[in-house]
Amino acid sequence: MAAVQETIDQVKAIDVDQYKYGFVTDIESELAPKGLNEDIIRFISEKKGEPEWMFQWRLDAFKRWQTMIEPSWARVSYPKIDFQELHYYAAPKKKEGLKSLDEVDPEILETYKKLGIPLAEQEILAGVAPENRVAVDAVFDSVSVATTFKEELAKAGVIFCPISEAIRDYPDLVKKYLGSVVPISDNYYATLNSAVFSDGSFVYVPEGVRCPMELSTYFRINEQNTGQFERTLIIADKGAYVSYLEGCTAPQRDENQLHAAVVELVALDDAEIKYSTVQNWYPGDSEGKGGIYNFVTKRGDCRGKNSKIAWTQVETGSAITWKYPSCILRGDNSVGEFYSIAISNGHQQIDSGTKMIHLGKNTSSRIISKGISAGVSENTYRGQVSAHRKATNARNFTQCDSLLIGDKCGAHTVPYIESKNATAVFEHEATTSKISDDQMFYCQARGLDEEEAVALIVNGFVRDVIQQLPMEFAVEAQKLIGISLEGSVG
Amino acid sequence: MNAEARVKETQAEASLIEQFSKLAKDQGGLAAETREKAFADFRSAGLPHRRVEEWHYTDLRAKMREAYAPAEGGRTPEVLPAPVDDGPVLRLFIVDGQYRADLGSSAMPEGVTVSSPREVEVKDSLFPSKDAVIDLNTAFCQGGVVVTVAPGTELTEAIEIVHLVTQPETASYSRNRIEIGAQASVLVIERFEGAASDAAYQTNAASEISVGDKARVNIIKLQDEAKAAQHLDSVSIKVGAEADVHHFTLNAGGDLSRTQMFVEFLGEEAKLGCRGISILGSKQHSDVTLFVDHAVPNCESRELYKSVIDEKARCVFQGKIVVRPDAQKTDGQMMVQSLLLSEEAEVNAKPELEIFADDVQCAHGSTTGDIDEDLLFYLRARGIPEADARKMLILAFLAEAVEETENDRVIALLESKVRALLGAEEYAE
Q: pLDDT per residue over A78-91, tens digit each?
A: 888 888 888 888 87
DSSP state of B171: E
**How far is C-alpha A258 from the geometric centre of its chain's CA atoms?**
14
Q: Check: CB of residue B340 under 8 Å from CB of residue B347.
A: yes
**Minimum mean pLDDT among A411-425, B3-17, B58-72: which range?**
B3-17
* β-pairing verdict for A349-352 and A364-373: unpaired
Minimal C-alpha gap between A251 and chain B (Å): 31
- State which residue of chain B sits closest to A71, comparing Cα positions: B2
**Minimum mean pLDDT among A95-99, A108-112, B33-37, B369-373: which range?**
A95-99
Encode burial over B148-169: b for 16+ CB neighbours within 10 A, e otherwise: bbeeebebebbbbbbbbbbbbe
pLDDT tens digit sequence for A8-32: 444 344 333 456 677 777 777 777 8
Q: Where are the domains of chain B?
A: 11-267, 372-429
**How far is C-alpha B246 from the geometric centre of its chain's CA atoms?**
13
ipTM: 0.84
Q: What pLDDT does B154 receive? A: 95
**In angstroms, rounded to a whole number, what is the distance separating the alpha carbons of residues B215 and B182?**
5
Average pLDDT value for residue range B103-125: 79
Nearest to B206 by CA among B184, B177, B230: B177
State yes or no: pLDDT of B4 exceeds 50: no
Q: Is residue A430 within 8 angstroms of chain B, CB to CB?
A: yes
- For B215, residues 6+ apart whose C-beta sits below 8 A from its C-beta are B180, B181, B182, B183, B184, B185, B186, B240, B243, B244, B245
Helix, strand or coil for residue A293? Answer: strand
Top pLDDT among A102 and B399 is at B399
Backbone torsions φ then ψ of B193, nearest 5 degrees: -140, 150
Nearest to B340 by CA among B376, B303, B374, B315: B315
CB contact under 8 A, B342 and A422: yes
Average pLDDT value for residue range A270-295: 86
Top pLDDT among A315 and B255 is at B255
**In angstroms, rounded to a whole number, what is the distance separating the alpha carbons of residues A327 and B371?**
27
Q: What pLDDT does B127 receive? A: 80
Q: What pLDDT does B124 receive? A: 63
Share of chain B above pLDDT 70, in %: 95
Q: Check: CB of residue B220 under 8 Å from CB of residue B191.
A: no
Q: What pLDDT does A325 receive? A: 95
Q: How many CB atoms lie within 10 A of CB B315?
A: 29
In this prediction, residue A101 has a pLDDT band, given cuts at 50, 70 and 90, of low
**In angstroms, rounded to a whole number, what is the distance separating the alpha carbons of residues A10 and A480?**
9
**In angstroms, rounded to a whole number, what is the distance separating the alpha carbons of residues B428 and B281?**
23
State the sign of the Cα–Cα–Cα–Cα dihedral B83, B89, B95, B97: negative
Nearest to A41 by CA among A52, A29, A30, A27: A52
State yes or no: pLDDT of A124 exceeds 70: no
State yes or no: pLDDT of A100 exceeds 60: no
Task: List chain A residues with CB under 8 Å of B4.
Answer: 69
**In angstroms, rounded to a whole number, what is the distance separating the alpha carbons of residues A145 and A124?**
18
CB contact under 8 A, A418 and B341: no
Backbone torsions φ then ψ of B351, nearest 5 degrees: -85, 120
State yes or no: pLDDT of B16 exceeds 90: yes
Mean pLDDT of chain B: 90
**How far is C-alpha A386 from the geometric centre of its chain's CA atoms?**
23
Q: What pLDDT does A488 receive? A: 61
Q: Check: CB of residue A354 under 8 Å from CB of residue A340.
A: yes
pLDDT tens digit sequence for A332-376: 999 999 999 898 888 899 999 999 999 999 999 999 999 988 888
Length of chain A: 490
Mean pLDDT of chain A: 83
Q: What pLDDT does B118 receive? A: 67
Q: Which of residues 2-61 of B touch A (CB under 8 A)?
A: 2-4, 53
Nearest to B249 by CA among B282, B216, B281, B207: B207
In this prediction, residue A98 has a pLDDT band, given cuts at 50, 70 and 90, of very low
- State which residue of chain A sits closest to B367, comparing Cα positions: A427
Q: What pLDDT does B412 receive? A: 93
Q: What pLDDT does B145 receive? A: 92
* β-pairing verdict for A291-302 and B256-265: unpaired
State yes or no: pLDDT of A305 exceeds 60: yes
CB contact under 8 A, B354 and A412: yes
CB contact under 8 A, A389 and B344: yes
CA distances from A212 to A205, A269, A473, B173, B178 (A): 10, 20, 18, 70, 71
CB contact under 8 A, B356 and A186: no
Suggest the residue from A417, A425, A433, A439 to mutate for an interface test with chain B (most B CBs closer than 10 A).
A417
In this prediction, residue A136 has a pLDDT band, given cuts at 50, 70 and 90, of confident
Encode burial over A341-360: b for 16+ CB neighbours within 10 A, e otherwise: bbbbbbbbbbbbbbbbbbbb
In this prediction, residue A116 has a pLDDT band, given cuts at 50, 70 and 90, of low
pLDDT tens digit sequence for B242-280: 999 999 999 999 999 999 999 999 999 999 999 999 999
Backbone torsions φ then ψ of B122, nearest 5 degrees: -75, -35
pLDDT tens digit sequence for A172-189: 999 999 999 999 889 999
Q: What pLDDT does A324 receive? A: 94
Q: Is residue A415 within 8 angstroms of chain B, CB to CB?
A: yes
DSSP A169-198: H-HHHHHHHTTSSS-TTS-HHHHHHHHH--
Q: What pLDDT does B92 receive? A: 95
Q: Check: CB of residue B419 under 8 Å from CB of residue B279.
A: no
- For A228, residues 6+ apart whose C-beta sits below 8 A from its C-beta are A139, A141, A142, A198, A219, A221, A257, A258, A259, A260, A261
H/E stretch holding B294: strand B285-294
Q: What pLDDT does A130 receive? A: 43
Q: Is residue B338 within 8 angstroms of chain A, CB to CB?
A: yes
**In angstroms, rounded to a whole number, what is the distance separating the alpha carbons of residues A413 and A357?**
19
Minimal C-alpha gap between B66 and chain A (Å): 28
Average pLDDT value for residue range B339-354: 92
CB contact under 8 A, A430 and B340: no
Nearest to A371 by CA among A431, A444, A454: A431
